């Protein structure tokens, strides 16, 4: 899918933001459609965009309500949230409702375009799970449940591999704490259990377990596996 064939729906009630996105994304070859509020967004979504940039603080119909309706109706296009830096709770709620990623205002156009391309690539791969994942020196074989750093095997516990498997299956996408807990434990444990498992994984996978290597921390939200 080339940029020229990708239609992006921008839903934001701030004209300067829409103008910035129209100009910046248009210069990258994307086809940009705009909606200034929730009601206009409901009409624009009928044009079947390939991806949506959604502001949460809309009038008439909230961004969360729109997202809930779309996912309930089976609309699977990637949705990237546009949010303020202070709205961690709103971001987490949107991700749990089915958003794919988020950027906080003000954002850089290069970062946003990279997030758009990652979300589009992830959506294309989602229905055909890749049995072997590679990123830098990390290789994860989902079929044989094996992990390597370069040519060196990495020994993981079953639970550590389960956490890594979920991250791999959604590589590049932000996963909330609660999503990971539901996928790995069935939602029956405290978030501290997840933090412990992530620390253990980082000790085995990262040259600096306190840094941001393969597994990135999204502060107050969750984790993302770099691609």
pLDDT digits (tens, 9 = 90+) for 25-79: 999 889 899 999 888 898 889 888 989 999 988 877 889 999 999 999 989 899 9
| Domains along the sequence of the chain with CATH | 3-125 (3.40.50.2300), 132-225 (1.10.10.10)
- CA triple 226-195-152, angle to 5 deg: 50
The sign of the CA dihedral 203, 208, 209, 212 is: negative
- 102 HSE (CA, 13 A, CB side): 33
Residue 132 has pLDDT above 90, yes or no: no
Q: Which has the closest alpha carbon to 180: 39, 192, 5, 212?
A: 192
What local confidence, expressed as pLDDT, does residue 118 receive?
Answer: 86
- The burial of 154, by beta-carbon neighbours within 10 Å (0-12 exposed, 13-18 middle, 19 or more buried), is given as middle
* Alpha-carbon gap, residue 216 to 174, rounded angstroms: 9
Q: Are 135 and 146 in contact (CB under 8 A)?
A: no
- Strand pairing class (215-218; 79-84): unpaired
What local confidence, expressed as pLDDT, does residue 10 receive?
Answer: 96
Q: How confident is the model at residue 186 (pLDDT cuts 50, 70, 90)?
A: confident
pTM for the whole structure: 0.75
């Amino acid at each position: 899918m080339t940029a020229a064939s990708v239609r992006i729906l921008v839903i934001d009630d701030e004209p300067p933001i829409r103008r910035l996105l129209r100009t910046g994304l248009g210069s990258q070859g994307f086809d940009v459609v705009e909606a200034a509020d929730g009601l206009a967004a409901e009409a624009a979504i009928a044009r079947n965009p390939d991806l949506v940039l959604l502001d949460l603080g809309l009038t008439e119909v909230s961004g969360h309500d729109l997202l809930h309706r779309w996912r309930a109706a089976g609309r699977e296009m990637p949705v990237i949230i546009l949010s303020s830096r202070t709205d961690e709770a709103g971001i987490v709620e949107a991700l749990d409702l089915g958003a794919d990623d988020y950027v906080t205002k003000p954002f850089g156009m290069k970062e946003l375009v990279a997030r758009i391309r990652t979300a589009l690539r992830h959506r294309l791969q989602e229905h055909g799970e890749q049995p072997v994942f590679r990123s830098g020196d990390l290789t994860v074989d989902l079929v044989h449940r094996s992990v390597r750093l370069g040519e060196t095997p990495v020994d993981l516990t079953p639970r550590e591999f389960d956490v890594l498997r979920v991250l791999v299956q959604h590589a590049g996408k932000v996963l909330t704490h609660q999503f990971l807990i539901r996928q790995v434990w069935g939602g029956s444990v405290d978030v501290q259990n997840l933090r412990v498992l992530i620390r253990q994984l980082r000790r085995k996978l990262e040259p600096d377990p306190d840094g941001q290597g393969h597994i990135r921390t999204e502060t107050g939200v969750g984790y993302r596996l770099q691609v």
